[in-house]
Structure 1
Amino acid sequence: MADPTVSVIIAAYNAMPYVTRCINSVIEQSIGRNALEVIVVNDGSTDGTAEEVDRIASTHADLIRVIHQKNSGGPSAPRNVGLTHARGKFVFFLDADDYLGPEALERMVGMAEENGTDIVLGKMVGVGGRGLPMSMFKSNQPKTDVFHSRVYWALNPLKLFRRDFLERHGLRFPTGLPIGEDQPFTAMAYLRASGISVVADYDCLFCTLREDGGNTTVRTKGAEPRLRFLPHMIDLLLEHVPPGPDRDHLAHRHLTVEVQQLLGHLAREPRPQQEKHLARLAEIIDPLWHEGMNDRLSAMARLRLHLVRHRMLDEVLELVEFERELAHSKVATPVLVEGGRAYARYPFFRDPARAVPDACYDVTDQLGVRHHVHRAELRGTTLHLAGHAYLHRVETRDVTTHLLLRERNRGTEYRLPVTHTPTPHLGTDEDQGRYTYDHAGFDATVDLATAANGTPLPDGLWDISLTIGTQGITREVRIGSKRAEHLPNTPTTHLLTGLGDQPRAVTLYTTKPHGNYTLDIGENKHPVRRHLTLDTPRWSAGEPSELVVKGRCTLAAWPQDALVAVLTAGDGTADEVFPAVPVAHTDAFTVHIDLRRLTAGLWRGELRLGPWSMPLPPLPQDAPPTKWRHRGLRWYAKPETNGNGKQLAVRVGRVRLVRGAVRRLAR
């Protein structure tokens, strides 16, 4: 029997009724049964889980293998057992209360095979109020690593691993930790992987918050269990990652997520334990946290770590309560703007008795940026943009907002003025109306013919941003992701004159996936020819001396009378030009080619739009000749059969009556 593509390892302990849905979600995977094996390790369940997995396995004996063992106290041992028995090229660890999307394994295996990666993260979805890390799933990542992505914020093992990679590095789950046992395994796998992929465009894994509170992290209370595994992770980083930005990137996760969660448990303990556990936490984090990391950390994280380091227990407890209330509040914390910096008014701000440094409250670089675009259009060479933009919690006084055009590849920038417009009542729909922004409007009129310091904007991809300035604070933001519903999200391409010697293509479009506005000048991503389509030419039904060509032009605008059909004499000595006539209220056009204007000989046709051209399609092979009278003489036109077959070619000539009579007699 051939080895399967994927071994799905399910560690099951008292997982009723969730385990049924879990196993069925694997059986029904689109990757196919022949590509799967399912290994269920029952870790001494007492609630009927053992009987249920045996029942399912009895009807899928070719697919499911069940291993029963005494309870080990955690998921590490059963996962290790499953890994020992796995035969698949890949393994996927699945918790018994979770389940897979129908195409999850097919998509993840495809991503691994295509990019040669050792680990694939599939997008996770919380069920029943389960909170999950999501920052790594903003977009697909074909191949990344642990230092240049947010994958380290997902340290659970519910991922696809290449099995020979795990075996080569001897990776197994540590036992003996009540919680967090998956973190050392996943962290070492991240550090050893030759590449990591992320599938973010499909819901791969559904993680359930159990109604009975049976999830391990929910069931395990108190700070002490967390103080047991956190040193393992910090020692792992200190041993395997040299000091510097890479270590700081990973340390960020532990100094924020783990410390905050641990303090939440500590706050519910008796006072003696609180003092003991806070002192222990301060010792644990000391080797990892240094002042150079502060730019990576939020102000709240800086404040939290400062209080822990100085063992300020009462202040820690007050901050935990403040964060709890803040999480349930609909009002953001006010800020003080001073000297071009913004400081959050968190507890103990400028309290002389606590002497916490202002740096622990500095939120200047973390201020939320709000914007909305209600006008975005190109008319002629003029770009019109209007909307509003402001810094959350900062009153719009002394506003100095500008429009910024930046060429994506070269980095060239042009800063352009905007007109500031009033926005009464803006801000009343958030924070219970506590903050208002009545001078946040902007109106920009940009002439592309002079935007580059008085000269036309060069070819390139010009990303559009605002530098929002107020009270001495300036933040930059790409605009377009928040826009009025009536604004189109499809590209609009214009052919414009006045930007050089020839018409130039200018496309206003929104980027994917973020939806921000960019100007494409010069067909970098939006070729003009894609907007031109032509139907097969036909002889006119009512006028035998006329050839009719129909087509469509989906450009938003082009120079008047620039779209024409041109027929060129076979020897290249003459051109005849025929205008395209637009069909009212559509993007269709029709060209009427008057054959009477053509002299005798071979003629080839093309469609021209300024400097762009494309061949006119040939007539149907079975099209008969057409004949007409012109100035008393009889003429004909017929398809040229010895052309290249991809371009209209017609031969025009006079009907020779004597020659025709001789041919008829010869028959």
Structure 2
Amino acid sequence: MATPTVSVIIAAYNAMPYITRCISSVAEQSIGQDQLEVIVVDDGSTDGTSAELDRLADVYPELLHVEHQENSGGPSVPRNVGLDLARGAFVFFLDADDYLGPEALERMVAMAEKNATDVVLGKMVGVGGRNAPKSMFRRNEPRTDVFSSRVYWTLNPMKLFRRELIERHGLRFPADLSIGEDQLFVGAAYLHASGISVVADYDCLFWVLREDEGNITRRTSDAERGLRFLPRVIDLIVENVPPGPGRDHLAVRHLTADVRHFLVEHLPFEPRETQQKALDQLAGIIEPLWHEGLGDRLSAMTRLRLHLVRHRMLDEILQLVRFEEESAKSEVATPVVVDAGRAYARFPYFRDADHSVPDDCYDVTSELGPRHHVTRAEMHGSTLHLAGHAYVHRVATEDVSTRLVLRERTGGTEYVLPVAHTATPGLGSDEDQGQYTYDKAGFECTVDVTTAADGKPLGDGFWDISLAVGAQGLSREVRIGSKRADSVSGRASTRVVDTEQGVRAAALYTTKPHGNFTLDLGENGHRVPPHLLPGGVRWAADAPTELEFTGRCTLAAYPDGALVVSLANGQGETAAFPVRRTADDGDTFTARVPVTALSAGTWSGELRLADWSVPLPALPRNLPPAKWRRQGRPWYAKPAPDSGKQFAMLVARTNLVKALVSRLKP
């Protein structure tokens, strides 16, 4: 029997009617059934799952292998049975309630093989109201690890694992745990993996919330069972990751998500006499991960929660849990107090003399979101005009101090410029039930590139545009442009501007993918020549000795008279002829070149704008010569021989002898 590429392992318990769709989604995978084996371990189901699995085994006899066993009380044992039977180069764990996108396994296997990685995360999509992890699926990650990405924030086993990794380290799900068993397996796989990949551009796994909410991973238990896995996970981290930023990166996940889950889902439902014991146990469990320097990585609510846990403040924790539940139902964000340039959330016990919780546990300054909307962003000449509004959420617009910030991306040079503050009556009334309004959030400003650098011209570079949004002594910076009026274009607008120092190229554009405004000075990414587009050339219909050039110039603006058709004959003689914009289209132009004014020689040509130029196209080979008389002698102009693809025109006096001989030839 051929070795499969992927062994799909499914632990099933009372999974009707979901199991049918689950297995069908595997059978229909684009990778092909010949590359798969499906191992389903029925963990003592009582609802018809067993019979349905036997039926499906008859439908897919070469694909599906079913094992029936007594109920084990959790997913660990059936998954381990599946691992013992698996033969594939890769293993994918799939819950019986969930299903795969048609190309999921093909894409994940390709990612693993291309990048030689041991674990692949496929994008998860919640179904039926189930919240799926998102932060690690913002973009594809060909090769990463747990320390430089967000992958550690999803520790469920619905991922692709290289089976050699599993067997080399003897990884199995702990059979004595019914909660958190997946964290020990996946956490160990992450830490031992030679690279982790993320497929974020395809919906791989559909994570279903059952109507009866009977998913194995959603079942709760008593506090003691809820805490049993956590010290083992922490031991795994401490034993494998030395103290420092790497360990802290992993610790944040457990100190944030797992501590909160225990306090919300377990502690309130325990008898009063065991709550304090459970809290004491939790405080001791997290102690190896906690240190004061970790606070900067945590949200204010997490810092407050951990402070109460570490100080065994049971009643305060229960009150905080109730506060969080009420806040989650409310449409109003928690109010803040601004003091000495910092913002503090009014969580329970803030500056309560009876509790003496440090202000640091309430400091949300870094969490406050500056909000903005641009209503004008355009250049006229060398001046950029900006307008809109900006405010810090939950901070009233009193003593407004908003400023514009220009920062050169490469060197970090920064200039802070004033803005005019304008009224925005009623702003904010449509959110937070109108509790917070921002009546003085408007801004208007102009940036003249010739004087913005403390009275001097801005240097060449990418100048990112931000606002330091300030009120009440607090300031938060935000890049602007991602939120803008429909009338404000985000398309790149390149222009040539005239300054006292000479002409300069300037382009206002929005970055990808975030859509924020940047000013490119000096053609770092937006060159002028591609905007100079010579077109055709012919003899003018009303003047047979005048060449008529057509073309387009897609620059947003350029100085009057600066764009010309420039000719040179290689003997030091040059001639320039202005272009004229077509009346019905500002981009198109024409230019007339009277060849009667040119001296003898072979003339080359280019379309020139100040220091920029592009070659003119070659004259048509079938273009007839122009003829005229100068001081009574005949002259002509015609395409120069061997001119290639560029403009070359021969201007010469007619040789009368050669012309006569040519006429006399039979």
TM, length-normalised to structure 2: 0.91
- Specify the SS of the correspondent of 2:227: helix
Q: Which residue pairs with 2:186 in the alignment?
A: 186
What fraction of aligned residue pairs are identical, expressed as a percent?
Answer: 63
Shift of 1:170: 4.0
Decide whether aligned partners of structure 1 residues 190 and 527 sit closer, same or farther in structure 2, where only a CA change above 3 A counts: farther
Q: Does 1:387 align with 2:388?
A: yes
Q: C-alpha distance in 2, partners of 1:421/1:244? A: 47
Q: C-alpha distance in 2, partners of 1:58/1:619? A: 76
Q: Which residue pairs with 2:594 in the alignment?
A: 594
Q: Which amino acid aligns with 1:236?
A: L
Q: C-alpha distance in 2, partners of 1:557/1:246? A: 52
Q: C-alpha distance in 1, partners of 2:577/2:163? A: 67
1:197-230 per-residue CA deviation (whole Å, 9 max, x = no partner) reads 3343443332111112121222234433321111
Shift of 1:364: 2.2
Q: Which amino acid aligns with 2:626?
A: K
Q: Which amino acid aligns with 1:128?
A: G
Decide whether aligned partners of structure 1 residues 634 and 170 sit closer, same or farther in structure 2, where only a CA change above 3 A counts: farther
1:556-613 per-residue CA deviation (whole Å, 9 max, x = no partner) reads 11222222222221x3522222333222334222333333333333222222222122
1:331-378 per-residue CA deviation (whole Å, 9 max, x = no partner) reads 111122223322211112233333322222222222222222211111
Which blocks of at least 5 consecutive residues in structure 2 are unaligned?
none
Q: Does 1:448 align with 2:449?
A: yes
Q: Which residue pairs with 1:507 in the alignment?
A: 507
Q: Which amino acid aligns with 1:425?
A: G
Q: Which residue pairs with 1:575 in the alignment?
A: 574
Shift of 1:155: 1.5
- Specify the SS of the correspondent of 1:211: coil
Q: Which amino acid aligns with 1:151?
A: V
- Specify the SS of the correspondent of 1:603: strand
Q: Does 1:615 align with 2:618?
A: no
- Specify the SS of the correspondent of 1:247: helix
Q: C-alpha distance in 2, partners of 1:512/1:122? A: 24
Decide whether aligned partners of structure 1 residues 4 and 429 sit closer, same or farther in structure 2, where only a CA change above 3 A counts: same
Q: Which amino acid aligns with 1:471?
A: Q
Q: Which amino acid aligns with 1:133?
A: P
Q: C-alpha distance in 2, partners of 1:6/1:506? A: 54
Question: Do the aligned residues in 1 keep the contact of 2:104 with 2:122 (CA within 8 Å)?
Answer: yes
Q: C-alpha distance in 1, partners of 2:284/2:546? A: 91
Q: C-alpha distance in 2, partners of 1:271/1:603? A: 98
Q: Which residue pairs with 2:208 in the alignment?
A: 208
Q: Which amino acid aligns with 2:209?
A: L
Decide whether aligned partners of structure 1 residues 109 and 654 sit closer, same or farther in structure 2, where only a CA change above 3 A counts: farther
Question: Do the aligned residues in 1 keep the contact of 2:283 with 2:312 (CA within 8 Å)?
Answer: yes
Q: Which amino acid aligns with 1:373?
A: V
Q: Which amino acid aligns with 2:649?
A: V
Decide whether aligned partners of structure 1 residues 405 and 107 sit closer, same or farther in structure 2, where only a CA change above 3 A counts: farther
Q: C-alpha distance in 2, partners of 1:113/1:641? A: 58
Q: Which residue pairs with 1:551 in the alignment?
A: 551
Decide whether aligned partners of structure 1 residues 640 and 94 sit closer, same or farther in structure 2, where only a CA change above 3 A counts: farther
Shift of 1:538: 4.3
Q: Which residue pairs with 1:236 in the alignment?
A: 236
Decide whether aligned partners of structure 1 residues 228 and 442 sit closer, same or farther in structure 2, where only a CA change above 3 A counts: same
Shift of 1:271: 1.9
Which blocks of at least 5 consecutive residues in structure 1 are unaligned?
none
Q: Which residue pairs with 1:526 in the alignment?
A: 526
Question: Do the aligned residues in 2 keep the contact of 1:43 with 1:72 (CA within 8 Å)?
Answer: no
Q: Which residue pairs with 2:650 in the alignment?
A: 651
Question: Do the aligned residues in 1 keep the contact of 2:565 with 2:576 (CA within 8 Å)?
Answer: yes
Higher mean C-alpha displacement, 656-665 vs 435-444: 656-665
Shift of 1:263: 1.1
Q: Which residue pairs with 2:365 in the alignment?
A: 364
Decide whether aligned partners of structure 1 residues 493 and 12 sit closer, same or farther in structure 2, where only a CA change above 3 A counts: farther
1:443-499 per-residue CA deviation (whole Å, 9 max, x = no partner) reads 221111111122111111111111222222222221222221211121111212217
Question: Do the aligned residues in 1 keep the contact of 2:492 with 2:507 (CA within 8 Å)?
Answer: yes
Q: Which residue pairs with 1:136 in the alignment?
A: 136
- Specify the SS of the correspondent of 2:94: strand
1:162-184 per-residue CA deviation (whole Å, 9 max, x = no partner) reads 44444444444333321222212
Q: 1:559-570 alignment to 2 at 5 Å? A: 559-569=559-569
Q: C-alpha distance in 1, partners of 2:26/2:595? A: 69
Q: 1:135-284 alignment to 2 at 5 Å? A: 135-265=135-265, 266-284=267-285
Q: Which residue pairs with 1:68 in the alignment?
A: 67
Q: Which amino acid aligns with 1:191?
A: L
Higher mean C-alpha displacement, 586-595 vs 332-341: 586-595
Shift of 1:436: 1.9
Decide whether aligned partners of structure 1 residues 599 and 189 sit closer, same or farther in structure 2, where only a CA change above 3 A counts: farther
Shift of 1:7: 4.7
Q: Which residue pairs with 1:343 in the alignment?
A: 344
Question: Do the aligned residues in 2 keep the contact of 1:90 with 1:160 (CA within 8 Å)?
Answer: yes
Shift of 1:191: 2.1
Shift of 1:427: 1.7
Q: Which residue pairs with 2:463 in the alignment?
A: 462
Decide whether aligned partners of structure 1 residues 143 and 268 sit closer, same or farther in structure 2, where only a CA change above 3 A counts: same
- Specify the SS of the correspondent of 1:95: coil
Question: Do the aligned residues in 1 keep the contact of 2:41 with 2:79 (CA within 8 Å)?
Answer: no
Q: C-alpha distance in 1, partners of 2:633/2:168? A: 89
Q: C-alpha distance in 1, partners of 2:211/2:271? A: 28
Question: Do the aligned residues in 2 keep the contact of 1:42 with 1:50 (CA within 8 Å)?
Answer: no
Question: Do the aligned residues in 1 keep the contact of 2:596 with 2:628 (CA within 8 Å)?
Answer: no
Q: Which residue pairs with 2:376 in the alignment?
A: 375
Q: Which amino acid aligns with 1:174?
A: P
- Specify the SS of the correspondent of 1:289: coil
Decide whether aligned partners of structure 1 residues 283 and 506 sit closer, same or farther in structure 2, where only a CA change above 3 A counts: same
Q: Which residue pairs with 1:419 in the alignment?
A: 420
Higher mean C-alpha displacement, 3-12 vs 417-426: 3-12
Higher mean C-alpha displacement, 241-250 vs 574-583: 574-583
Q: Which residue pairs with 1:517 in the alignment?
A: 517
Decide whether aligned partners of structure 1 residues 109 and 603 sit closer, same or farther in structure 2, where only a CA change above 3 A counts: farther
Q: C-alpha distance in 1, partners of 2:602/2:53? A: 80
Shift of 1:35: 8.2
Q: C-alpha distance in 1, partners of 2:22/2:104? A: 13
Q: Which residue pairs with 2:39 in the alignment?
A: 40
Q: C-alpha distance in 2, partners of 1:145/1:446? A: 43
Higher mean C-alpha displacement, 109-118 vs 489-498: 109-118
- Specify the SS of the correspondent of 2:494: strand
Higher mean C-alpha displacement, 258-267 vs 137-146: 137-146
Q: Which amino acid aligns with 2:609?
A: L
Higher mean C-alpha displacement, 337-346 vs 67-76: 67-76
Shift of 1:327: 0.4
Shift of 1:616: 1.9
Q: C-alpha distance in 1, partners of 2:421/2:335? A: 25
Q: Does 1:325 align with 2:326?
A: yes
Q: 1:57-136 alignment to 2 at 5 Å? A: 64-70=63-69, 71-83=71-83, 90-136=90-136
Decide whether aligned partners of structure 1 residues 617 and 160 sit closer, same or farther in structure 2, where only a CA change above 3 A counts: farther
Shift of 1:525: 1.9
Q: Which amino acid aligns with 2:42?
A: D
- Specify the SS of the correspondent of 1:267: helix
TM, length-normalised to structure 1: 0.91
Q: C-alpha distance in 1, partners of 2:477/2:20? A: 50
Decide whether aligned partners of structure 1 residues 602 and 436 sit closer, same or farther in structure 2, where only a CA change above 3 A counts: same
Q: Which amino acid aligns with 2:412?
A: G
Higher mean C-alpha displacement, 526-535 vs 307-316: 526-535
Higher mean C-alpha displacement, 391-400 vs 250-259: 391-400
Decide whether aligned partners of structure 1 residues 92 and 520 sit closer, same or farther in structure 2, where only a CA change above 3 A counts: farther
Decide whether aligned partners of structure 1 residues 123 and 562 sit closer, same or farther in structure 2, where only a CA change above 3 A counts: farther
Q: Which amino acid aligns with 1:41?
A: V
Question: Do the aligned residues in 1 keep the contact of 2:370 with 2:478 (CA within 8 Å)?
Answer: yes
Shift of 1:329: 0.2
Higher mean C-alpha displacement, 95-104 vs 391-400: 95-104
- Specify the SS of the correspondent of 2:507: strand
Q: C-alpha distance in 1, partners of 2:577/2:107? A: 53
Decide whether aligned partners of structure 1 residues 68 and 454 sit closer, same or farther in structure 2, where only a CA change above 3 A counts: same
